[in-house]
Amino acid sequence: MALISQPVNIGMRVEKRLLIIDGLNLIRRLYAALESEQDITRRIERTQSVSIDALMKLIKQIIPSHIVVVFDASGQTWRHKIFPEYKLGRVPMDDALLDALPDFAKVFRYNRIPCLRLAGWEADDLIATLAVKAANQGVKSYIVSTDKGFTQLLDNENILQYDYFAKLGYDKVWIPAKYGVQATQLTDYWALVGDTTNRIPGVKGIGPKTALSMMETHSTIESIYQHSDTFSERIQGMLAGNYEQCLLSRQLVSLKVDVEIGVRLSQLAYQPV
């Protein structure tokens, strides 16, 4: 991983900045780091404490004008409806932590940090929508998450991603060095190679090297299939019969950026205690 091309640490507040925290992504990792704590109640309390500490560090570092912690809604989302195997087999969250999530939101709000959760939606789509809408208004958006899915948004120069645990930030310059493609090509790339984390299939037999060689000349799934006869017989054989699956996989890995959230940027203004 590479350092962000622009420093994330900013001194004076000279522009609007929206700090978006992937709530479960942060909390679950902090909770996992406290696995030596045998008292589950104490472990939850300690996780809440270190979560607040983490948010305060991020606020001091980014100096946001606006902030929000985004949570997943319980139950199925549109991805599960079109692909029931989505995320099937992932290790479930501890029941104690799941039950305590409303308390985390209360603690965050007590510290004047807005929280957002919308029935039927994953946090990823809400975060993407907030970041893109804010960025299109000239507001610099910082997404705090270790989830690689957000990197598809980094083609917008007003959107940056920060990994709190690795202490590294990422922008559009980092994408080609990491994946070999541009940010705008990532969803097509993942449609070919698959996303094992979320149980989204790619094309069997096509790994990163093969996918990159194909995308050197044809950057989209449609173009690859339209010109499939230009590839070797081996690749043609792997592609055969997988067009619809590729389109579905691309749809699944693509973040929604137009969710009707019903929240104005002014409602996310950060007001220090």
CATH number (domain holding residue 101): 3.40.50.1010
In a domain, 259, yes or no: no
Within a domain: 100: yes
User: Is residue 136 one of the residues assigned to a domain?
Assistant: yes
Share of the chain above pLDDT 70, in %: 95
For the chain, what is the total number of helices (H) and then of strands (E)? 11, 6
Asked if 157 and 236 sit in the same domain, the reply is: no
Judgement on whether residues 84 and 193 belong to the same structural domain of the protein? no
Q: Examine the domain organization and report whether 68 and 146 are in the same domain.
A: yes
Question: What pLDDT, on the 0 to 100 scale, is given for residue 30?
Answer: 98
- What is the structure's pLDDT at 10? 39
Residues 98 and 162 in one domain: yes
Q: Are residues 26 and 92 in the same domain?
A: yes
How many domains in the chain?
A: 2
Under a CB-based contact definition with an 8 Å cutoff, are residues 78 and 126 in contact?
no
Tell me the mean pLDDT in the region 35-58.
97
Determine contact, residues 197/206, Cβ cutoff 8 Å.
no
The torsion angle over the Cα atoms of residues 133, 136, 140 and 142, rounded to 10 degrees, is 40
In a domain, 8, yes or no: no
End-of-domain residue from the set 172, 207, 238:
172
- Cβ-based neighbour number of residue 173 at 10 Å: 14
Residue 130 domain flag: yes
In the DSSP assignment, the letter for residue 255 is P
Q: Domain boundary residue among 172, 192, 214?
A: 172
Work out the mean pLDDT of the chain and round it to a whole number.
92
- Cβ proximity of 105 and 233 under 8 Å: no
Q: Flag whether 82 is in a domain.
A: yes
Same domain, 79 and 193: no
Residues 166 and 215 in one domain: no
Q: Give residue 115's domain range.
A: 17-172
* Residues in CB range of 151: below 8 A, 6 or more apart: 161, 170, 175, 178, 179, 183, 186
Total-model pTM: 0.92
CATH code assigned at 188: 1.10.150.20
Pick 105 or 11 by higher pLDDT: 105
Query: Residue 74 — pLDDT band, cuts 50, 70, 90?
Result: confident
Q: Is there a single domain that holds both residue 158 and residue 56?
A: yes
Q: How confident is the model at residue 14 (pLDDT cuts 50, 70, 90)?
A: low
Burial class (CB in 10 A: 0-12, 13-18, 19+), 34: middle
69: alpha, beta or left? (left if phi > 0; alpha if psi -120 to 50): beta
> What digits encode the pLDDT tens for the residues 231-265?
999 999 999 999 999 999 999 999 999 999 999 99
As given in the structure block, the two tokens for residue 93 are: 């969250």
Task: Give the Cα separation of 140 and 6 in Å (integer).
Answer: 12
Higher pLDDT, 175 or 92: 175
Same domain membership, residue 187 and residue 146? no
* 161 and 72 inside one domain: yes
pLDDT tens digits, one per residue of 142-159: 999 999 999 999 999 999
Judge whether 11 lies within some domain.
Answer: no
The last residue of one of the domains, among 112, 138, 172, is: 172
- Of the ranges 6-15, 38-47, 64-73, 130-139, which one carries the lowest mean pLDDT score? 6-15
Examine the pLDDT at 41 and tell me if it is beyond 70. yes
